[in-house]
Structure 1
Amino acid sequence: MNDMLIFERAAVRAHRDRAANQLDRVRPVLDDLAARVLDRLDDTARKFATALDLGGRGAVATLLAARGVAVVSADLSPRMARQAGGFAVAADAEFLPFGAASFDLIVAHLSLHWVNDLPGALIQLRRTLKPEGLFLASLPLLGTLGDLRAALIKAEEALTGGASPRVSPFPDLADCAGLMQRAGFALPVAEREVIDVEYAEPLALLRDLQAAGETNATIARSRRIPPRALFPAALAALAPDDGKLRVPLHMAVLTGWGS
């Protein structure tokens, strides 16, 4: 097996297809995170006419349109692309169908963490960006869902004597900064934001991940139906005495300019 292949892209597409009709459940969180990323646009006097919204799940295109930007919304899932709010294109971030210097703004919001060849995807995105255009991206960082990962491993080992990967691996911030530089972006910046999400009912976390299309798509995942007690046991181990589950999202926000 190719060591570069960590994720099953067909599974990513299927998860996002199923999530396309469930986005209202997580709309407040998606909109808040997108607004945090797009706030970077206020730091520049540059005006943008055309933008590529890559995987924004309807949270990005609306905010860009409000700024007077014409938006092409691309997603691995055709259903998700149609609901994103811009001119819809079904496209894979690993094989972008756009020509060189097509957009003066590209926003890849919480979409690149399921890509197998992230360095290659960033190079393609930089080539798709016009000279002096702006690239904005966000993705979860190492530490996100780390407690859930550990709790699932411990619970599954106790129940079955073994464990399979159930939470996607995430990069660290230093990796993101290095990849931006290697891809050829000018003035690359990688920043960390930590957003705490609280759940009164712990199982709601798993339902929200499914509604956002963020369920497990690693190639190494188990295809067997998990023990019924697995997820309740893992979540019970995470919940404090008040029963509320607090989940920190460590989000990288990347900015870079075309060259």
Structure 2
Amino acid sequence: MQTPPLLTDRPALLRNRDRATEFFLHEEVRAEVQERLIEVNRTFTAPGIVTGFPGFWADLGPTVADDDLLSLTPAAHDLIIHALCLHWANDPVGQLVQCRHALQPDGLFIAFLFGGETLHELRSCLAAAEVEVSGGLSPRVLPMGEIRELGGLLQRAGFALPVADSFRKTVRYRDAWHLMHDLRLMGEGNALAGRLRHPTRRAVFARAAELYQTEYSDPEGRIPATFEVICLTGWAPSDSQPKPLRPGSAAQRLADALNTAEMPLPPDLRKG
């Protein structure tokens, strides 16, 4: 079987992260983690955190790098947080499976990653500018999944009670140059394995900045940058978890539970 090409240039990603100094999106995710754990109403005593920025997350629990092979001990954790780095995984399902095996039965898994609407403004302007200036397209922005397909990854990885939801944060910048500079400070610069290995013509970025300003700027001249963060939640399977009832085994009619009158189906909609 042919091995699929790698998505991420791991050494380039690590170099980008080493230069990172801006963590406001990780702060947003950290706040989301806290809120969601409060809702779970359970005390976790053996957490593990998968992250590309251990210095930011280390005070919440032991951290491991988001390598292709995670340094997680099987059945050692009652909580695993995958902290805003799954979008860089060469094998996201493999990462999820490794996390599930590292959880104790009925352990909780929470992952945050960028979704498909992230930086849609910048992506469209860069693509249009590159076609106009260079006559072609090159890999510049990480391909990011949609919420429905990402939720399906949890089921493929064997998690019970899978849930996928998302939130958006819109950040306004002075111009596209300011945004691209901020992305480098976040450690989220281009680390695609298929990226160009020579400098891009400045005219491409200049034209993209012009298009961004024309298409998206607000009355004050600032431009919006959308960040969609998807949260994947699942549980390691356990016999103690609720199971769906067999069809026909309900002990109470739905109409009784809702305190409403049950209306018979019209003849043309009845089976048989």
Which interval holds the TM-score relative to the shorter structure?
0.7 to 0.9
Question: Which stretch shifts more, 195-204 or 103-112?
Answer: 195-204
Question: 1:40: which partner in 2?
Answer: 36
- Contact 2:50–2:83, Cα closer than 8 Å, also in 1: yes
Question: 2:221: which partner in 1?
Answer: 243
Question: 1:207: which partner in 2?
Answer: 181
Secondary structure at 1:52 match in 2: strand
Highest CA radius of gyration, 1 or 2? Answer: 2
Unaligned runs of 5+ in 2: 238-272
Question: 2:64: which partner in 1?
Answer: 74
TM-score, length-normalised on structure 1? 0.83
CA distance in 1, matches of 2:24, 2:73: 34
CA distance in 2, matches of 1:38, 1:204: 31
The Cα of 1:98 is off from its aligned counterpart by 2.1
Question: 1:228: which partner in 2?
Answer: 202
CA distance in 1, matches of 2:79, 2:52: 14
Q: Which amino acid aligns with 2:236?
A: G
Percent identity, aligned pairs only, is 37
CA gap of 1:74–1:97, structure 2 versus 1, over 3 A, is closer
CA distance in 1, matches of 2:32, 2:210: 31
Aligned residue pairs total: 231
The Cα of 1:103 is off from its aligned counterpart by 1.3
CA distance in 2, matches of 1:228, 1:12: 23
Please list every run of at least 4 consecutive aligned residues from structure 1 whose deviation after the TM superposition is greater than 4 angstroms: none
CA distance in 2, matches of 1:245, 1:216: 21
The Cα of 1:163 is off from its aligned counterpart by 2.0
TM-score, length-normalised on structure 2? 0.79
Match 1:133 to one of 107, 118, 126:
107
Question: 2:137: which partner in 1?
Answer: 163
Secondary structure at 2:202 match in 1: coil
Question: 1:96: which partner in 2?
Answer: 70
Alignment of 1:101-112 (within 5 A): 101-112=75-86
Question: Which stretch shifts more, 212-221 or 236-245?
Answer: 236-245
Q: Which amino acid aligns with 1:219?
A: A
Matched, 1:255 2:251: no
Secondary structure at 1:134 match in 2: strand
The Cα of 1:220 is off from its aligned counterpart by 1.6
Question: 2:245: which partner in 1?
Answer: none
The Cα of 1:12 is off from its aligned counterpart by 1.6
Secondary structure at 2:4 match in 1: coil
The Cα of 1:59 is off from its aligned counterpart by 4.3
